[in-house]
Structure 1
Amino acid sequence: MNQQGLIFLNATGAPVLSRADSRQMRAHITKSNFAKRRQRASQGETKGNEGNKQTPQQALHRRKRCQQKSQRTASQANPTKLPSRESPQYVPSMQLLVRNFRYLVFLDIRPTVQDPVEKAWFDLITSEPVVFEASLAGGMRCWGPDDESQQNADLHLSRATKLLVDRISCEQVPSDAMIGAVMTMAFGERMADNDEAWNVHMEGLIKMMQQRRHHGASSLPPVLRSLVALDLMNHVLGFPRFYHPKVVDMLSSHGDQVISTLAPISTNISLLKTAVGAPETGHVGQASHDVAGPLERLRLATHALREFNEPYIKATSRSLEVYLNLLWPLLFPMDLHSVGTELKDAISEFRIKACPYMDLTSPHYILGLLATANDSEARSWFLERIQGSVQVMRQRGWSDPLSLMKKGLEHEPHIHHLFRALWGDETNGAM
């Protein structure tokens, strides 16, 4: 897409909120509007108990009015209004819109998306303006470090925020699109290294999950729940994108087997570090008598994760095994090269193409690079994925695309040292 196309998508003449103003608005929405919404829901339930419940026809009519209101809000603030699904030009217009969107956010120039899972993902993104605007905000946030790109990100984020307020005031149960929008906003704040705003969004997500669970709906759509599971290693390394302990606790408490297995892992890793120590050299330090419990629980948990065949879970499982072996090879002996190849195969099964910054904030690629054998096909695969994403981000003006990853690795000096040495050898010292 040329620069004119980019300007068309973002130029509205509307005032651009500052970062401080945007953060204040989002905090107000999370802390105030969710509370008001719960109060309205409680009042609605009280009225229902008095015999004033809406009929299905009335509820449908109310939902349509709310959707029309959201569309009007989007069209007033956004020239890229999503075409109506009933309009004759819907199919070609939406195809063009999605194609341009994939380029803006994912640098994906494929003319069509063939995989049904990926198509369903883009259908969710374009189902409502709120998630579309949130996704554009994320795309603009990592498009470049220049002021124009960051102001465009703030603008799309303010639109998404306004639309989210509309949806909160209209809907009794948060939709998949609303959940996706909030998680996308959280990812954008993680890319901006804004812990405070990230926590605000995640607290809002937790309240949405509670509302959905209260009304009998799944607390997270399957794809988004898989992203939480994929993010375990990010949480362990200290820069989570979607993994939040309260989110995990809620999913675990309602019988999610995968999340129930994942939930205690980071705690047991912390206990093992306390008991054994996190070695600088890869050798186990002086173990205390407290090592047996967390060690055995970690063994059982990593073994249990291998029972799940879903690609995101497999990637988390193999990354965890690599991580534990790199820290404590005597406690977790394994064929590291084989596990690294399995990790590559699991990532290759991902059905949705990730943006470069998604890859560069995923420790799975670093761990896979460290685990695979010299001159192996798997080693080359990991190296090419990392180098390709770094090159793309540097072309956009980012001087240090791996900054978030390196920030996380600072908590693991042994792994950080191994990566710096290997990356320097492969790239002639260019870290």
Structure 2
Amino acid sequence: MDDFVFLNTTNAPGLSPEAAKRVRGHITKSNFAKRRQRIITENPDVNKENNKRNNKNNPSKNRLSTSTDVRAASSDPTRNNKDLQLLILLSCLNPPTTNPSEAEWVDLVASEQALIEATMAVGMRHWSPQPSWQLQADFRSSRALTSIIKQISWKQTYTDGFLAAIMTMAFGARLLPSHEQAWDVHVDGLVQLINERRLRRIREPGWFWDGLVLFWHRKVIDVIGDSAGGLRVRQVAEICEGIMELRRSINQMYHTSHIDTRFVAEDIDKEATRLREKSQKLGKSKKNKYVSATALTLELIVCLLWPTDSQLGYTHNLAKDLQQTTSQLPKMPCPYMDLTSCQFIIGAVAAEHGSSTKTWFVDKLTSAARAMQERGWSDEPFEILQRMLRADESLMGWFGIEGGRDGISKGYEDMLRQILAPLKKGC
């Protein structure tokens, strides 16, 4: 009992009831931690058996090469690191107590200062439009670059944390239309880093392949080759390129009057079938939820670009599968990521009207938009959705819109207002 702390706050003049409650909570938490540590120390065999059972039931613990025993013995990296605490508040990190996989991810972020700064820059950039937040984002981005340059000069660039820092910088530049040059520079740096790591036989960690889903660049696709994780990414890239070609063929058929549309339609039908089959093959592996969600989204896009009456029920079922899969993704993204999520946009469009599936996707988008508006973004959430939905005229088929430009515009507006209606009511 000597190791435990006891506190009597009765008649304590210096503490308010709220403060006393917080103190009691802190001491209780501390005592429980000491008790757990004592049990582990006194019963090493029990601890080993628990670790063995947990590893069997939670394969995601192997996401990073961090020993469970070592991590259990180490202190929480967020406890004395204000930057990590702020990243949790900014929704850039989940607390390490969420699950073992999140704890390992926090350990990775804590291991690399450039990664902390780069993540902070992205989080602050999209947290609020206020000048103070934007200045802080610039400051953090500058510090990340300084740290990266320093490590390059010291030839300390082969850790997984440094790889994650470069990817985060590239991702942050990709989110900003005015940063195209920075995006290209970071992609070139990422390609060079991958080549140098492979020359030293350093393999890419498992999370690397999940991260590639967030942005796409031909140079990165080419350099990863046909390794175990790279093969899936290349398959995704090939399907995406096929979808872009399919879209061009559809636009050509609708906008070129001198060709025989019957033959073009037959070719389009064959290509759409091929792309759907490739997407289905990609999604057969249920182990990686990111890949499964991507495969379902790609197949839905093909179905929406080239719809048939017989596929309507199948498309609605695909949207249900996409909802179930995206709800199981291991990491909780920030509101900005939700608002710009291809899965949520496609799911909201493809789901059956009035269904709980459609409500789920729409709620995801409206909740994200509301969270952004509460932080000072006024019309930006509406404009983000508007830019995405206006990206291609072939999207008009998703809304059943016919006619000229005015009809298309009205259809987009109706869809946007449907998605954001709950948000407008709450204002």
Task: Report the TM-score, using the length of structure 1 for normalisation.
Answer: 0.68
CA contact (8 A) 1:137 1:154 kept: yes
Partner of 1:424: 417
Task: Give the equivalent residue in structure 1 for 2:368.
Answer: 389
Cα pair distance change 1:280/1:336, threshold 3 Å: farther
Distance 1:372 1:270, change over 3 A: closer
Contact 1:325 1:333 in 2 (8 A): yes
Contact 1:276 1:285 in 2 (8 A): no
Distance 1:92 1:276, change over 3 A: closer
Match of 2:192 among 199, 207, 210: 207
1:136 CA displacement? 0.6
For 2:268 and 2:95, the matched residues in 1 are separated by 54
Aligned to 2:131: 147
Pick aligned residue for 1:307 from 284, 295, 298: 284
- Count residues with an aligned counterpart: 330
**Secondary structure at 1:277's aligned position in 2?**
helix
Match in the other structure for 2:22 = none
Letter in 2 for 1:188: G
5 Å-filtered alignment, 1:49-60, equals none
Is structure 2 residue 89 aligned with structure 1 residue 103? Answer: yes
Closer/same/farther in 2, CA of residues 286 and 102 from structure 1, 3 Å limit: farther
**Separation in 1 of the partners of 2:272 and 2:78?**
56
Cα 1:332–1:178 change in 2 (3 A) is farther
Q: What is the DSSP-based 3-state SS (H/G/I as helix, E as strand, rest coil) of the residue aligned with 2:202?
A: coil
| 1:343 alignment counterpart | 322
Select which of 290, 301, 320 maps to 2:298: 320
* Secondary structure class of the residue paired with 1:185: helix
Give, in whole Å, the separation in 2 of the partners of 1:379 and 1:295. 24
Residues 34-53 of structure 1 mapped to structure 2, 5 A cutoff: none
Tell me what 2:202 maps to: 217
Distance 1:196 1:287 in 2: 42
1:293 is displaced (CA, Å) by: 6.8
Q: How many Å separate the matches in 2 of 1:332 and 1:216?
A: 50
Say whether 1:250 aligns with 2:223: yes
Structure 1 residue aligned with 2:392, among 412, 420, 429? Answer: 412
Checking the alignment, whether the CA contact within 8 Å between 2:315 and 2:351 is kept in structure 1 is yes
Return the alpha-carbon distance in structure 2 between the equivalents of residues 311 and 96 of structure 1: 32
Structure 1 gaps of 5+ residues are 1-84, 232-241
Contact residue 249 and residue 263 of structure 1 kept, 8 A: no
Distance 2:236 2:211 in 1: 13
Matched, 1:374 2:347: no
Measured in 2, the distance between the counterparts of 1:112 and 1:172 equals 27
2:48 equivalent in structure 1: none
SS at match of 2:222: helix
Change (3 A) 1:317 1:150: same
Q: Which has the higher contact order (CA 8 A, sep 6+)?
A: 1
Quote the Cα distance in structure 2 between the aligned partners of 1:278 and 1:405: 26
Deviation digits for residues 65-121 of structure 1 (CA, Å, limit 9, x no counterpart): xxxxxxxxxxxxxxxxxxxx9xx9875734765343211244x7x765322222222
How many angstroms apart in 2 are the aligned matches of 1:191 and 1:314? 24
Percent of paired sites with the same residue: 28
The answer as to whether partners of 2:365 and 2:419 remain within 8 angstroms in 1 is no
Instruction: Compute the displacement of 1:366 (Å).
Output: 0.8
Kindly provide the amino acid, as one letter, of the partner of residue 407 in structure 1. Answer: R
In the alignment, residue 414 of structure 2 is paired with which amino acid? A
Distance 1:306 1:155, change over 3 A: same
Indicate if the aligned counterparts of 1:337 and 1:373 stay in contact, CA closer than 8 A: yes
Q: Aligned in 2, Cα 1:429/1:112: closer, same or farther, shift over 3 Å?
A: closer
Q: How far off its partner does 1:426 sit?
A: 4.9
* 1: CA distance, partners of 2:253 / 2:114: 46
> Which amino acid counterpart does residue 306 of structure 1 have in structure 2?
G
Equivalent in the alignment of 1:68: none
C-alpha displacement at 1:402, in angstroms?
A: 4.7
With over 3 angstroms needed to count, the CA separation of the structure-2 counterparts of 1:177 and 1:92, relative to structure 1, is closer
The residue identity in structure 2 corresponding to 1:336 is T
The CA distance in 2 between the partners of 1:422 and 1:294, in whole Å, is 28
**Structure 2 portions without partners, runs of 5+:** 1-70, 400-411
Greater shift after overlay, 110-119 or 386-395?
110-119
Task: State the structure with more CA Rg.
Answer: 2
Amino acid aligned to 2:278: A
TM-score (norm: length of structure 2): 0.69
Is 1:274 the counterpart of 2:252? The answer is no
What is the CA–CA distance in structure 2 between the aligned matches of 1:98 and 1:351, rounded to whole Å? 20
CA distance in 2, matches of 1:330, 1:177: 47
2:79 to 89, 93, 96: 93
Residues 202 and 100 of structure 1, relative CA distance in 2, 3 Å threshold: same
Tell me which of 133, 137, 157 is aligned to 2:117.
Answer: 133
* 1:422 Cα deviation after fit: 3.2
Q: Deviations over 1:243-276 (max 9, x none)?
A: 1111112223445331232231122223323333
